[in-house]
Structure formats: C-alpha cells, structure tokens
C-alpha cells in the first residue's frame, strides 16, 4: 500500500504545528519553506531594537523536526499550485507531488496600494526586516553625532512608527527606551534622549482591538516614557526624508511600517475563492470547496468563527488550525468523518515597556495591566520559544537589560555609504520586496492588524513543539 504524502507549505506556526501533529499518522510529511528556520515572530521587534540577536528567536526547521522520522524538509519557494495534477511548482522549476496539501504561507506587508513606500518604511516580518530596521535606527544616531546642521540633526533623530497595533506600540516603546536609557552616555555631541519617537494611528485609539480601558492605559504608558502618540492621523505619503500626514510633513530619517498586512500572494494562485485581502475561503474542516485534499490555514485562510465573525490573523488560530488539519487527514485515513474547526481564544498580550504591559482573556474574563501583565508577558514568551538554549539565552539577555539598561545586539551590519545611510537607501534606487509587489499585483488589499497576531502583532500563550 502506498503511504500518502502530505505536503506542508510554510514553516511558520501553522505549518510547523501541522507537521508535528502528523508525527504518529501513517503518512510521509514534506515540509517546504523558502527559509531554513522557524521564526518566533512575537519577539522580532526585539531584534529590530537591538535587545536580542536573530539566533535567539529562531531555530532551524530541520533541527526542530529531527526526531520525527516521517518528515522530510525541503528548502524551496512554492510559486504555484497545480490542483488538477496535485503538484506544487517551485521557483527553480521543480515539482513536488502531493496526496494531501496544507498551505500555511501566512501574510506579508500591505501599503494600501503604495508598494513603493516599502523601501523607505520597512515592515517587520522577517529577520532581514528586523536587522535592516536595527541598522537604520542605530545609523541615525551615528549620523546625528556628525551632523552640524540643527534641522538635519532633528530629522535624523525623529523616528516615525505608522500603525498603533501591538507591533507599533511595542516598537515605539522599545525605541524610546533605547534612546532615553541605553544610549545616553555613548555620544559626545548629541543627546540621544532628545530623539522623537512618533506613533501615528489612523483610528481613535491605540491597540484598537483591546478593551478600551487597556487601550487608554497603553496610550498613557507610551506618553509617560516619551512617545508622541498621534491618533486619527492618516499617512498620505511616504517619501525619502519623511512622511506626510494630510498637509503636514514630518521630517524623519527613519519610518517603520506597522499599519497593515495582506495575505501571501500564493492564495491567488490556487484557483479558489478569496476575499479582498487575498485570503482563501475555506470550509469548516479547513479544506477548500471542491477539493477536500487541500487545506489552507493561518493568515492565508478566511473562515468565520463561532461568533459569526472572521477569525483573526493571530498565531493561536494558525497553530490550532494546523493541528486540526492534521487530525482531519488522520481521520480520513481511518475512514472517520472530519470534524469542523472551533477556535479557542486564549487571550492577547502586548508590552509597552519596562513593567508596563496589557493582557486580556475572554474566558475567564480577565483584564490586566502594569507589572503583573508584564511579568506574565515575560514568562509566556520565554516558555514559548523553541529550544532550551533559546529560552536560557533570552532570559539572560532580558535579565542583563533589566539590571543595566544595556542592549547587547547593537550591531550595525551591512555596507554603509559615506553619508552613513544604508546602502541604496536613496528612494529612486530601491524597489519593493517580491512578496509585497506580488501581493499588490494580485489585487490583495490591506487588512488592519486586528488584535495583531503572534507573528509580531499579538502575543498569546503559545506552547512550543517539543523537539
């Protein structure tokens, strides 16, 4: 009897949890990802703000799955799905056949119809994004140290974060702490604490998907540490040198984009119905209509929850869907009926800064803020990391940072031009990333960060796979 081949596309939370859930199933699992590592994206902003190194929050996929004998890891980029032939087409021309397919390619940046903004205002989804943001952030202080013109120096020390979801709140809070605490004694000609961190939000409050009391607390906490919060402000243009908010121009050397996401462009290549964001509409068992052997999960899937509203694009949804898709495949092989997916909301968390965080849980209904929420955030994130070494490393880094205010990953990497701009920073020399451009070309529109997602935009309890 031929052993069925289950191909999982994507090594993020959904794909990895699906692969792990199939460890006892009578199948061969092929996990395909264009990168060799699983990234714990909730802490990616800490790489961008020099608190952690990339290796602290990432783990090689082969290492994570090394003890699972029925799994093969294939490094490659899937660009198309031939459902009639049950094959995947890779960027290098290779094809991979499947009996069952689980697609978990997630989301990418969305710039509301302006992909040309991305080179100037990078988003935060990958290690490369984080190290580039870190480089630009640290370079701004180096350039300001040498700048004699006061207006130019002020622009160098102005940092704009667009979007006040969890990513934007955490990023702006961390940037402020670096400028006001970590760098204060390191420069001779500038005062790093004079840096302006401006958080721009188009809606009426920060952390809009959280309870209003928690949103109000988060705004107060941000303003207390020095973040300038601007609500009901729409960014209308991003250009080299700053951003436009209506008719007002804010001169800023650094802009970080945390305002929206859109589905992976692969969703539009599956010959299935999608929503305006590019998410594939799936049935309650997570398969696509008319093709029960193809499952779509995570940020790429569109499905209403038990409350009749679309499920949020958060990591807990992706992990639970990964396990459910695997269970339904196993039930198929045993001749049992499939079960519909029911999401269990375990709550959301976001941190603002030292001893300041927010936590909300639906059942039991819990709202927490301040020290308790911050300690819970620390504990959950350390325990959720994959690998004992990563947990110990992050714990030590955080303890050192707490005691000394110092951040141990303040490295400026890559080539730097004579004017201390990152190589190729000039706008006319840059182009959007392939994912952002492909999503734009496919017609995918932007979705707001909702509560965010545990890929950087929401933080929930997330047990790591053992391995």
What local confidence, expressed as pLDDT, does residue 429 receive?
52
Hey, which residues are catalytic here? 170
Tokens (6 digits) for 409: 């990953």
What local confidence, expressed as pLDDT, does residue 376 receive?
94
Sequence-distant (≥ 6) Cβ neighbours of residue 102 within 8 angstroms: 6, 7, 8, 9, 14, 15, 18, 295, 296, 297, 322, 325, 326
Instruction: Compute the distance between CA of residue 289 and CA of residue 416 in angstroms, rounded to an integer.
Output: 51
Tokens (6 digits) for 166: 């969890």
What letter does residue 105 receive in the DSSP assignment? Answer: -
| φ and ψ of 296, to 5 deg | -125, 130
Report the SS3 class of residue 210: coil
| φ and ψ of 21, to 5 deg | -70, -15
What local confidence, expressed as pLDDT, does residue 447 receive?
64
Q: Are 296 and 288 within 8 A, CB to CB?
A: yes
Q: Are 12 and 107 within 8 A, CB to CB?
A: no
Sequence-distant (≥ 6) Cβ neighbours of residue 51 within 8 angstroms: 174, 397, 398, 401, 407, 408, 409
All domains of the chain in start order, with CATH: 5-109+262-334 (3.50.50.60), 115-259+347-441 (3.50.50.100)
What local confidence, expressed as pLDDT, does residue 431 receive?
63
Distance of CA 214 to the CA centre of its chain: 22
Instruction: Compute the distance between CA of residue 382 and CA of residue 33 in angstroms, rounded to an integer.
Output: 25
The string of pLDDT tens digits covering residues 24-36 is: 999 999 999 999 9
What local confidence, expressed as pLDDT, does residue 416 receive?
81
What letter does residue 274 receive in the DSSP assignment? Answer: B
Sequence-distant (≥ 6) Cβ neighbours of residue 230 within 8 angstroms: 198, 199, 200, 201, 245
pTM of the shown model: 0.89
Report the SS3 class of residue 231: coil
What local confidence, expressed as pLDDT, does residue 1 receive?
64
Asked if omega into 217 is within 30° of 0 (cis), the reply is no
The string of pLDDT tens digits covering residues 133-171 is: 999 999 999 999 999 999 999 999 999 999 999 999 999
| Alpha carbon distances (Å) from 179 to 44, 214, 252 | 19, 25, 15
Q: Which residues of the chain have pLDDT under 70?
A: 1, 421-467
Report the SS3 class of residue 287: strand
Q: Give the β-pairing of 196-200 and 228-230.
A: parallel
Residues present in the chain in total: 467
CB atoms within 10 A of CB 389: 12
What local confidence, expressed as pLDDT, does residue 218 receive?
98
Q: Are 385 and 391 within 8 A, CB to CB?
A: yes
Name the burial class of residue 370, with classes exposed (0-12), middle (13-18) and buried (19+) by CB atoms within 10 angstroms of its CB.
middle
Name the burial class of residue 36, with classes exposed (0-12), middle (13-18) and buried (19+) by CB atoms within 10 angstroms of its CB.
middle
What local confidence, expressed as pLDDT, does residue 50 receive?
93
Task: Report the chain's mean pLDDT, rounded to a whole number.
Answer: 90
Q: Is the dihedral of CA 449, 39, 115, 121 positive or negative?
A: positive
What local confidence, expressed as pLDDT, does residue 427 receive?
46
Distance of CA 238 to the CA centre of its chain: 21
């Amino acid at each position: 009897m031929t052993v069925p081949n289950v191909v999982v596309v994507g090594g993020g939370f959904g794909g990895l949890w699906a692969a792990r859930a199939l460890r006892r199933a009578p199948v061969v699992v092929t996990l395909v990802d264009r990168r060799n590592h699983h990234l714990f994206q909730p802490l990616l902003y800490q790489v961008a703000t020099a608190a952690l190194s990339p290796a602290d929050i990432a783990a090689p996929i082969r290492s994570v799955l090394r003890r699972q004998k029925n799994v093969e890891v294939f490094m490659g980029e899937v660009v198309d799905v031939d459902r009639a032939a049950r094959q995947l087409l890779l960027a290098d021309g290779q094809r991979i056949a499947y009996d069952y397919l689980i697609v978990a390619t997630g989301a990418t940046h969305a710039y509301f119809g302006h992909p040309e903004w991305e080179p100037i205002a990078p988003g935060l989804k990958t290690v490369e994004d984080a190290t580039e943001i870190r480089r630009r952030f640290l370079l701004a202080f180096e350039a300001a140290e040498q700048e004699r013109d006061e207006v130019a120096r002020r622009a160098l020390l102005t940092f704009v974060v667009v979007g006040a979801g969890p990513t934007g709140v955490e990023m702006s809070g961390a940037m402020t702490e670096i400028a006001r605490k970590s760098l204060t004694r390191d420069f001779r000609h500038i005062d790093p604490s004079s840096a302006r961190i401006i958080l721009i939000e188009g809606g009426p409050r920060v952390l809009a998907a959280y309870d209003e009391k928690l949103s109000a607390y988060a705004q107060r906490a941000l303003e207390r540490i020095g973040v300038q919060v601007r609500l009901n402000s729409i960014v209308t243009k991003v250009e080299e040198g700053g951003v436009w908010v209506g008719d007002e121009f804010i001169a800023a050397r650094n802009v970080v984009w945390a305002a929206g996401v859109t589905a992976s462009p692969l969703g539009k290549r599956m010959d299935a119905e999608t929503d305006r964001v590019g998410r594939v509409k799936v049935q309650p068992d997570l398969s696509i209509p008319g093709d029960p052997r193809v499952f779509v999960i995570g940020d790429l899937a569109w499905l209403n929850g038990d409350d009749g509203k679309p499920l949020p694009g958060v990591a807990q949804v992706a992990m639970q869907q990964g396990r459910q898709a695997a269970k339904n495949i196993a039930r198929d092989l045993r001749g049992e009926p499939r079960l519909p997916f029911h999401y269990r909301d375990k709550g959301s968390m976001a941190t603002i800064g030292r001893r300041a965080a927010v936590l909300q849980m639906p059942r039991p209904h819990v709202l927490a803020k301040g020290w308790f929420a911050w300690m819970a955030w620390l504990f959950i994130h350390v325990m959720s990391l994959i690998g004992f070494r990563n947990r110990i490393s992050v714990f030590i880094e955080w303890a050192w940072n707490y005691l000394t205010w110092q951040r141990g990953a303040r490295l400026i990497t890559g080539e730097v031009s004579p004017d201390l701009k990152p190589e190729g920073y000039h706008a006319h020399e840059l182009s959007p990333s392939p994912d952002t451009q492909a999503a734009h070309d496919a017609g995918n529109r932007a979705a707001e960060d909702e509560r965010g997602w545990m890929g950087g935009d929401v933080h929930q309890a997330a047990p790591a796979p053992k391995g």
